[in-house]
Amino acid sequence: MHAHAGVQLLMTGTIRMPHDLSLQHQPVSNFFPHGATTTDLAAFRLSDEQVAFYHEHGYLAGVRILNDAQIDQLRSELSELFDPAHDGHELWYEYHTNESADPGSVLFHALGAWRLRPGFHDLLWHPAFTVAASQLLAGPVRFWHDQLFCKPARHGGVVAWHQDYSYWTRTHPMAHLTCWIGLDDSTRENGCVHYVPGSHHWDLLPITGLAGDMNAIRDVLSDEQWNQFQNPVAVELKAGECSFHHPLMVHGSKENRTSSPRRAAVLNVVRDGVASSSNDPLLQGVPVVPAGSPLGGQFFPLLFDPMSGSLGDEPTRGLASNG
């Protein structure tokens, strides 16, 4: 572990806490507020209008999640992670970089940063995220996985139109939520996310791929869907703002045509009770959660229960099993 600001909180006397932060089911730093009272948490609640907007359109944009210090912390952790020689590389679920081999693919897409660095770990428990997520999911929030999507300056990589749940059918029922958090301002020019409002009412579409062909989805849309698809919304956000979207929302993003990077952290969560529907590992390197068993254990912590107001699981020990 490198000497991060805040990492001293991982040390107790001479005993070093585990290298894998997935063993910690509470914040390990003071980057984000924690220990908040119910009254404090109320400050993070979405308005009824925002919740209604999400249900009507399938997304909600422009919610501030990070302040400048938090953005700086995550940017600095991210810059280390770009170098494949970084400490903790073996902990990723997935790590894709694509310097030149395929100019049509995302340069950096990785799953599992929460296991590697304190800022990305503690972001999961940030009440600005968990309180809003519990409102949109209408229940307790359990972690599924995180993602980093980074487009370097003047990079041709796109994220082709897709619905997130098409990649998650190994979990059920569908009670999932995505939170996309900008670490830079995102604009039409640098490849901001676009949504097709109302597409969360569509059925699940077949997978047509994430990289390369932005228009691959055309082949699987009905004429009516194709018409609706003609009016996507470009979600331009300030750094530190987020957008939430429904697991069936059709979304994608174009290339970065600017001289600056477009970086984002994405949190994917489920309503507590969502179960595995697979006897294969749900994520690379994670022990099997038998089909029919709810997500839980080391890799799928409970983040927030609005009934108790508690932020996540109790301090955890020996969480190697999923149960």
Ligand X SMILES: O=C(O)CCC(=O)C(=O)O
Which of 163, 171, 253, 276 is close enough to bind ligand X by CB under 6 A?
253
Alpha-carbon span 78 to 6, nearest angstrom: 16
Cβ closer to ligand X: 114 or 180? 180
Q: Output the smallest distance, CB 250 to ligand X, in A.
A: 10
Cβ closer to ligand X: 41 or 160? 160
Interface mask toward ligand X for 169-188; x: CB under 6 A: ---------x-x--------
Alpha-carbon span 74 to 279, nearest angstrom: 34
Which of 31, 95, 108, 149 is close enough to bind ligand X by CB under 6 A?
149
Cβ closer to ligand X: 149 or 300? 149
Subset of residues 192 to 231 that bind ligand X, contact rule: CB under 6 A: 193
266 binds ligand X, rule: CB under 6 A: yes
Cβ closer to ligand X: 164 or 305? 164
Is residue 96 within 8 A of residue 157, CB to CB? The reply is: no
CB atoms within 10 A of CB 277: 16
Q: Output the smallest distance, CB 304 to ligand X, in A.
A: 20
Q: Output the smallest distance, CB 297 to ligand X, in A.
A: 24
Please state, in angstroms and as integers, the Cα–Cα distance from residue 279 to each residue in 50, 269, 282, 298, 300, following that order.
38, 20, 8, 17, 16
Q: Quick one: DSSP state of residue 82?
A: T
Per DSSP, the residues of 17-60 read PPS-GGG--S-SSSSS--S--HHHHHTTPPPHHHHHHHHHHSEE
Cβ closer to ligand X: 181 or 311? 181
- Give residues with Cβ within 8 angstroms of 317, minimum separation 6: none
Q: Output the smallest distance, CB 41 to ligand X, in A.
A: 25
Q: Output the smallest distance, CB 225 to ligand X, in A.
A: 19
148 binds ligand X, rule: CB under 6 A: no
Please state, in angstroms and as integers, the Cα–Cα distance from residue 292 to each residue in 88, 268, 269, 277, 323, following that order.
32, 20, 18, 6, 12
Judge residue 209's burial from the number of C-beta atoms within 10 Å of its C-beta, 0-12 exposed, 13-18 middle, 19 or more buried: middle
Q: Output the smallest distance, CB 17 to ligand X, in A.
A: 30
Is residue 128 within 8 A of residue 44, CB to CB? The reply is: yes
Cβ closer to ligand X: 38 or 79? 79
Closest listed residue to residue 269, CA positions, set 205, 238, 312, 229: 312
Which of 264, 265, 274, 302 is close enough to bind ligand X by CB under 6 A?
264
Interface mask toward ligand X for 150-169; x: CB under 6 A: ---------x----x-----
The site for ligand X (CB under 6 A) is made up of: 149, 159, 164, 178, 180, 193, 251, 253, 264, 266
